[in-house]
Amino acid sequence: MEPKKFTPYPSVREEIKQKKGLSMKVSKFNEFLIPKLLFICATLSILVTFGIIYTLLKETIHFFGQVSFIEFITNPNWTPLFEPQNFGILPLVAGSVLIATIASLVAMPIGLASAIYLSEYAPDRVRRIIKPILEVLAGVPTIVYGFFALSFVTPIIRYFLPEVGIFNALSAGIVVGIMIIPMIASLSEDAMTSVPRAIKEGAYALGSTRLEVAIKIVVPAALSGIIASFVLAISRAIGETMIVTIAAGAMPNLTFDPLQPVQTLTAYIVQVSLGDTPFGSTAYYTIYAVGMTLFVITFAMNIIANWIAKRFKEEY
């Protein structure tokens, strides 16, 4: 019986060399693959954006082949589903602007005050409790906000103003404002937190109170982030759908009276998208014209927000 041959174990140095070679191969593979995947993701997002623009633009051009653009932007009446048909976008734009204005009047002061409190006054323990609650508030489905506006806020308004109808712009605007408070508070608080602590301590050293530091030092220093949060929140309010569909009514009135029912751009899209409108009709193509109008408005708002953020950005 032949004795078994002894197979020496590889030395520690050889094992390290083998593992290092394998690690280098994996690293080279990752360096080759990961940039390609990231490029594909970035390209895909750009292609999706162009696809959305192409779809809206194509159908909108088809719509304006049947309806005059001058009538679209100047006619004060919007009745594409009834005879006689009118295709003036002004009532829908006015309704969206009215809702966004009411929401801004509610959300801006409350959101900014919340951000100042969280940034300058709240202890760490309180901040860790309140900020997650705000984040949860931002995650509530908008249809829940809509029923909240219709069943809770509207009865309160009608208690003080009995002549107000069930559907009105004030109730919808207030609840949309409540919905965008977390966005303003969170983004503004992040901007205030990024202000260097040395600036605050210098103000305290000169005898400033906490309120003076917050109002005269922190807010101006974080102004770009605060204004950007305002603009983004307003564009979010303009694009809100379910709250205004449920609580504001479906009356395309060219009015700025908050006690009247109104219809917004998004609410009209929901109304026509229910399937009752014949495919290929002029009324059907109004969906794309209204969608393009909404896209242009929100795109302009985002451009303004980016410009403001760059214009008032402070370098430390």
Domains of the chain (ranges; CATH) run: 72-311 (1.10.3720.10)
pLDDT in tens, 41-69: 888 888 988 888 888 888 888 888 888 88
Tell me the β-bridge partners of 87: 78
Q: What is the DSSP letter of 82?
A: S
Instruction: Kindly report the average pLDDT of the chain as a whole number.
Output: 83
Q: Which of 18-32, 133-147, 213-227, 294-308 is least confident?
A: 18-32
Q: Are 138 and 68 in contact (CB under 8 A)?
A: no
Tell me how far apart the alpha carbons of residues 309 and 294 are, in angstroms, rounded to a whole number.
23
Query: What pLDDT was estimated at residue 25?
Result: 64
pTM of the entire predicted model = 0.82
Instruction: Please say if the pLDDT value at position 76 is more than 70.
Output: yes
pLDDT in tens, 165-189: 888 999 999 999 999 999 899 888 8
Chain-centroid distance of CA 97 in Å reads: 15
Q: What amino acid is encoded at 253 in this protein?
A: N
Specify the higher pLDDT residue, 27 or 61.
61
Instruction: Please say if the pLDDT value at position 309 is more than 60.
Output: yes
Q: Are 210 and 297 in contact (CB under 8 A)?
A: no
pLDDT in tens, 221-245: 888 888 888 988 988 898 888 888 8
ω before 196 within 30° of 0 (cis)?
Answer: no
Residue 225 CA neighbour count, 13 Å, CB half: 21
Q: Which residue has the tokens 């970035």?
A: 42
Distances (CA, A) of 184 to 63, 104, 206, 214, 224: 37, 10, 30, 17, 13
Q: Are 286 and 87 in contact (CB under 8 A)?
A: yes
Q: What amino acid is encoded at 57 in this protein?
A: L
Residue 4: how many other CB atoms lie within 10 Å: 6
Specify the higher pLDDT residue, 247 or 29.
247
Query: What pLDDT was estimated at residue 45?
Result: 84
pLDDT in tens, 201-212: 888 888 888 888
Residue 168 CA neighbour count, 13 Å, CB half: 21
